[in-house]
A and B are shown apart, each in its own frame.
Chain A
Amino acid sequence: MFATGNRAVLFLLLLASPTAAQEFADEDAPAIHQARPNFYNAVGGRNLKVTWSAEPTTLSVDSELTLTLTVSGAVNPQRVRRPDLAAMPAFKSRFQQITAGTDPPVEKTSPRVTFTYRLRPRDESVRDVPELQYDYYSTATGKPETRYLDAIPLQVTAAAVVLPSPLPLDGPPRLFRLPSEAALQSRTKHDPNWWHWRGLLVAMILAVAGGVAIWRLRNPNGRRFARVRRHRAVRNALDTMDRASESLEPLALVSSALRRYFWERHGLPTVASPGELETAFRAAAIPAERIAPAVELLRKIDAARFGGDSDNALSLIALARELVLTWEGVE
């Protein structure tokens, strides 16, 4: 398979290095070529091809690309070695991490050998995967040949900014609401000052005066009536008579109120018959035209009261009220 001269050299090397003899097989390239820096023990004819590809070619500085190197057409696929990219200065200067991938085992008759690498660029200035020189032993020419794998352009971007996961804003729920639009738009009311209070006082006085004036306009005798009411004796008598209709013994109450009125107003005895009262009226110099109706009314009340005739009690109450007002000069 190989030239006779080369076989002789190989034989000599094997003799000189017994350990190396174990590493080489028949299909390997001659040992003299094994020392070449870019030789990876690929042996093949004209159909031997070496290609590579990178995926992805656009990546961030903190991510990796996968570089796949494929050697096809080698006659010794199981003996082809993986190029040590991590040891190459051109790769070391561009990539901070070069990791060999886990590739499937190669069969003896496999048409191709694939080596994968994971490369992490050093920074954003990395522009490509550098050119790679790949030497192999050509069985066609019987000497080493060189293939150059073109540089693969890359676009490396800045590392994606990783923000910490946002935290929710915590706080009392009521503070997450705005006041109503009306509350926001409202303007401060000035507190009431002393003018407000003076105004209230004046308004009250005017209201009282106005109320009294209106009452007097609507009640022509009201003024005198009011003056009469101001006298306690009259007020008591009238109030008693107003309540008398609701009493069980209205006439007794009216009789008592009248006698009390005569006592408080004119100093007459409270316990007296109508006749005795008439004498007392005359003694007190009460005008005769007032005495007669009063005595007559008292007699009617007594008659109705003691005679059991309570049908005309209401009319007698009204007469008694009228008598008091007449005596006080109210029409």
Chain B
Amino acid sequence: MIAALLLLSFATAGNVTTPEQDFEQGVSLRENARAARESFARAARGFDRAWGESPSPGLAVARGRSHFLAGNLPQSLAALHAGLALAPYDAELQADLRAVRGTIRYPEPADPNLRVRPDEWGGLRSRVSPWDAYFVGITFGIVAVVGSIFFFTTRPRWSGVVAIVGWVGVVASAALAWKIGNTEVRPVAIVTTDTVLRRGNGTSFQPRTPEPLPRGTELWEVGSRGGWLQVELPGGAIGWVPEQTVLK
């Protein structure tokens, strides 16, 4: 009995694959979408577990790609947003978000307020990391130290200017880091199935947009009431969608 159990455990252990292996298998089965999606779904589950234990930008990229290739577009977008919340300056995550968004057919309403297509990922926070600011601060610090030492010793003409530039640079870098660290990130809700944006929290209310919001639309959460979520479109219009149709 024990031997049988051991054999079973060994056999089971032999079948365990890493998320990386599942992903590679999915790539190798690419010509058969159904089989490939199953492998990518297994990989996505594995990367989700790893993310739960220790999140990192690299894992966010892997999660986003696995979920997308498994056919789970909303979960892919959610994973990429989670990664960008962690590392908004990560170029890989930004490029992946752009690529995934490129597969969505956003409606193009005439009213700019009703724009559904999201803005390009941008802003100071998406370009400079706090560590970048810190290293710039260190560079300015070295300049400030050199200028100050000369200023307090042989005092050549340039020393005062260099010292001032250095110290001002350090202060500016610190201010930049503070600004990056204190930028508010609005929570994103992702539409999981084509859904109608309504003017109120009920199906009796008129639609807010001429066309339903496509699966994968990114919305900003404003509030909630009675199982409905109040959301803001990238264009600025505000409406309501059922909570069960979005992934938060």
Contact = CB atoms under 8 A, between A and B. Distances in A.
Contact of B153 (A170, A171, A215): A215
B96 A192 contact: no
A211 interface: yes
Interface in A170-216: 170-172, 174-180, 182-189, 191-192, 196-197, 200-201, 203-204, 207-208, 211-212, 215-216
Contacts of B64: 175
Contacts of A170: 33
Contacts of B137: 197, 200
A299 interface: no
Contacts, number: 131
B138 A175 contact: no
B196 to A, nearest CB: 28
Contacts of A189: 131
A188 B65 contact: no
A175 B36 contact: no
Contact of A166 (B32, B59, B95, B153): B32
Nearest to A182: B58
B154 interface: yes
In the complex, the 9 A-B pairs of residues with the closest C-beta atoms, listed nearest first: A183-B58, A211-B149, A166-B32, A172-B99, A191-B130, A169-B33, A192-B134, A208-B148, A207-B145
Given A174-B95, A178-B23, A215-B153, 13 more contacts: A175-B99, A176-B27, A178-B24, A179-B62, A185-B58, A192-B133, A200-B170, A203-B141, A207-B145, A211-B145, A212-B153, A226-B152, A226-B155
Interface in B140-158: 141, 144-145, 148-149, 152-155, 157
Interface string B214-246: 000000000000000000000000000000000
A282 interface: no
A180 to B, nearest CB: 8
Contacts of A180: 58
A167 interface: yes
A186 B96 CA distance: 19
Nearest to B167: A204
B153 A204 contact: no
Contacts of A191: 129-131, 181
Interface of A: 166-172, 174-180, 182-189, 191-192, 196-197, 200-201, 203-204, 207-208, 211-212, 215-216, 222, 225-226, 229-230, 235, 239
A316 B130 CA distance: 57
A142 to B, nearest CB: 71
A230 to B, nearest CB: 7
Contacts of A201: 170
A189 B55 CA distance: 11
Contact of A179 (B92, B144, B155): B92
Interface in B158-180: 170, 174, 177
Contacts of B87: 188
Contacts of A203: 141
A200 B141 contact: yes
B57 interface: yes
Given A191-B130, A211-B145, A235 B155 contact: yes
Interface in B63-106: 64-65, 68-69, 86-87, 92, 95-96, 99-100, 102-103
Contacts of B61: 179, 183
A172 B80 CA distance: 15
B35 interface: yes
Given A183-B61, A191-B131, A169 B69 contact: yes
Given A204-B141, A212-B152, A169 B130 contact: no
A167 B130 contact: no
Given A189-B131, A191-B181, A166 B34 contact: yes
Contacts of A174: 95-96, 99
A89 to B, nearest CB: 45
Contacts of B65: 175-178
B54 interface: yes
A310 B32 CA distance: 93
A192 B55 CA distance: 18
A208 B137 CA distance: 16
A185 B47 CA distance: 11
Contacts of A167: 32-34
B37 A169 contact: yes
A226 B145 contact: no
A207 B29 CA distance: 60
A203 B137 CA distance: 12
B30 A192 contact: no
